[in-house]
Chain A
Amino acid sequence: RKEVEQDPGPFNVPEGATVAFNCTYSNSASQSFFWYRQDCRKEPKLLMSVYSSGNEDGRFTAQLNRASQYISLLIRDSKLSDSATYLCAVTPEGYGNKLVFGAGTILRVKS
């Protein structure tokens, strides 16, 4: 089983739609979780950290489900500019230095 798995998509949604992605992780000892956004041929940029109680940043909401070992990202009121690849990242060994990324989920928002 891969350490971190994501549905590659693509998710094709109209502007204004709500879309959600999940990311599963294999090691129950994982403690740190993040969502990154990567535009074509660019470096990944941090979108948000994921906290145990869930957290929100504007139109973006991140949740952690430890029992089922997944994190989720919800995007409300999708904009054309949200089109990108969304990567989840997990520290598989507690709070260690190693940060493992999923393969990413492609989102395409269309007008």
Chain B
Amino acid sequence: QKEVEQNSGPLSVPEGAIASLNCTYSDRGSQSFFWYRQYSGKSPELIMFIYSNGDKEDGRFTAQLNKASQYVSLLIRDSQPSDSATYLCADWNSGNTPLVFGKGTRLSVIA
């Protein structure tokens, strides 16, 4: 049974700082991961997808994957109060297999 672990937080950072969100996963064979953002009472919103070891950048977001350590992270540069949300890490195999979500880390960006 796949498991994805995230620190539930809250993680508090000041506006303009870098927020670092982390996720570990249990299945050594896992290949790909998604980061979703979920505002309170809303649905998950896709932020990034990563499948290769190393970094992937998209605007203010950088996803990092280390398969040897079974570790995925998301960095948010120049954090804004509007980034305050719960960030969900999800493990995905391929095709139409389901996403396996972590419980999410709540981020609070303080103005």
A binds B: no
A residues neighboring B (CB under 8 Å): none
Residues of B within 8 A of A (CB): none
